[in-house]
Amino acid sequence: MSLTAILSHADIFYEMTPSQLELIASICTEKEFSYGDTIFAEHSASDELYVVAEGEVEIQIDPNIIGADKARVSGPQTIATIRRGQSFGEMALLDEGRRSASARCTQGNVQLIVVPRDKLITLCETYPELGYRLMYNVAVDLSMKIRHADLHLREKLLWTPGGQEEE
């Protein structure tokens, strides 16, 4: 399958025209990873967006990095599983800050499309309609992820042993 065809099925490129997808495909590269490979580590530099073409990727945080109670939580915790057509690393497009989590392969062969930030931003500036659509889609994607994280956090905060609510 061509890069353009894969990108056309990615949530982050929803409602892009074929010519816009061609432009984006022209700046992308493909990378393969194996089971257990780390794609990037928490707190590493960020300058790429990833789209899953095949396989699954787990997004993980390590509470021990910030000194969480080691008796309660041990090692990296998976906070999301990203599958075909989904993207991750999109915050790198917006702020160039450090990675807020790690990304790790959870299947034998994971194929990713790598979109470099600097080239994508140049496309957005050169083609404002493409830039608007992309940033709108990034905002929708991040909004959905924040809502999911909020729900997950509420479950953690409100859960009590034995299933009884606190009074």
Query: Residue 167: its pLDDT value, please?
Result: 47
User: What is the C-alpha to C-alpha distance for residues 61 and 77, in angstroms, rounded to an integer?
Assistant: 5
The larger pLDDT score, comparing residue 96 to residue 13, is at: 13
User: What is the C-alpha to C-alpha distance for residues 106 and 111, in angstroms, rounded to an integer?
Assistant: 12
Q: What CATH architecture does domain 3-162 belong to?
A: Sandwich (2.60)
Q: What are phi and psi of 32, to 5 degrees?
A: -115, 145
Q: What pTM value is reported for the model?
A: 0.83
Query: Could you tell me the pLDDT band of residue 1, with boundaries at 50, 70 and 90?
Result: confident
- Does residue 110 contact residue 58 with C-beta atoms inside 8 Å? no
40-88 pLDDT per residue, tens = 988 888 889 999 999 999 999 887 766 655 546 667 888 889 999 999 9
107-149 pLDDT per residue, tens = 778 999 999 999 999 999 999 999 999 999 999 998 988 898 8
pLDDT at 16 over 50: yes
User: What is the C-alpha to C-alpha distance for residues 10 and 65, in angstroms, rounded to an integer?
Assistant: 32
Query: Residue 63: its pLDDT value, please?
Result: 78
> Diameter of the chain by CA atoms?
58
Q: What are phi and psi of 154, to 5 degrees?
A: -60, -45
Tokens of 57: 């990727």
Alpha helices in the chain, H assignment, sequence order:
3-8, 18-25, 91-95, 117-126, 128-158
Query: Could you tell me the pLDDT band of residue 150, with boundaries at 50, 70 and 90?
Result: confident
